[in-house]
Amino acid sequence: MNDISERTEMLLPGPAHALGGLLGVPVPDLASGEGLPLLWHWVYLLDRPAQAELGPDGYPVRGTVAAFPGPGWPGGTTPQGRRRMWAGGRVRTSGPLRCGDLATKRSRVLSVQEKRGRTGPLTFIVVEHQILQRDRVVIEEQQDIVYREAARAGGQLPPASQECPAVRPADGEWVIEVSPTLLFRFSALTYNAHRIHYDRDYARHVEGYPGLLTHGPLQALAMAEAARAAGFSGDQHDGRLHFDYRLTSPLFDYQGMMVGAAREQDAMVTAVRDIHGRQTAAGTLRNVSQSA
């Protein structure tokens, strides 16, 4: 678990402009030295495993830090039939991450815990990332990943026709239309080949989901962008922020996405819900000086 993976690359403006276009949000003036917004580092310094290193679900079974599932599985590969879920994470920025300069990402598995839940064995993994620029750590991140037993095909949530009535958007809520195109493009932008996000037949008949799964990172990014739109984004030339988020329930493409952000004392509290009012993600954004 102490093995460190390292990747260095020049940060070019193209991925940032692609993400801004995907979400319909403003892109900072990167040419003048403004830093990338919170969580936009997720479209940079990506693992790009060979096709031969992908499992049947499209996720890497070897060759990346995040593919490491725990000491009980031989060869460091994901066992067949286990479902991988992004459960949440914590991101702390201590300065701006800028385009036009080299950056280095150092990653390692921080911890692995084996537990047993109602559906069977669970493996909780915390993956740690540090991103450095000019020999300074500007982003520290921990990602919480869970592996659990696959469900039977047929879905776990009722079809849309059986759900509660739709809840109209509240004032200030950001309505994002979740379409297969959006999910596919976000997968492509983040080099995520996990088939649950774009292959409906696979999601339904193999993993047992009732629809395409909306990415956890996409929901986290939407919460960070809602906070930025509300004026809580940190100075782009300072960039000192702390974001703690969690994914609380699956969100499927036919359920839409509503994103809100509201100030509570010195923090910005964010949330994602579906069109029926069911919360699927929550987060809290603070200035680093307030969260230290």
For the chain, the domains span 5-291
Give the pLDDT confidence of 84-96 residue by residue, as tens digits: 889 999 999 999 9
Structure tokens at 100: 């036009």
d(CA 111, CA 144): 10
Q: What is the per-residue pLDDT for 147?
A: 86
Instruction: Indicate if the pLDDT at residue 78 is higher than 60.
Output: no
Cα separation values, 154 from 14, 80, 166, 182, Å: 40, 19, 24, 24
Under 8 Å between Cβ of 124 and 106: no
Give the pLDDT confidence of 186-229 residue by residue, as tens digits: 999 999 999 999 999 999 998 889 999 999 999 999 999 999 99
Instruction: Indicate if the pLDDT at residue 148 is higher than 90.
Output: no
CATH superfamily of 5-291: Hotdog Thioesterase (3.10.129.10)
CB under 8 Å to 162, separation ≥6 — which residues?
none
* SS3 state of residue 247: strand
Q: Which amino acid is at 64?
A: T
Under 8 Å between Cβ of 65 and 5: yes
Residue 260's nearest CA partner among 243, 248, 272 is 272
Q: How many residues does the chain have?
A: 292
Q: What is the pTM of this model?
A: 0.89
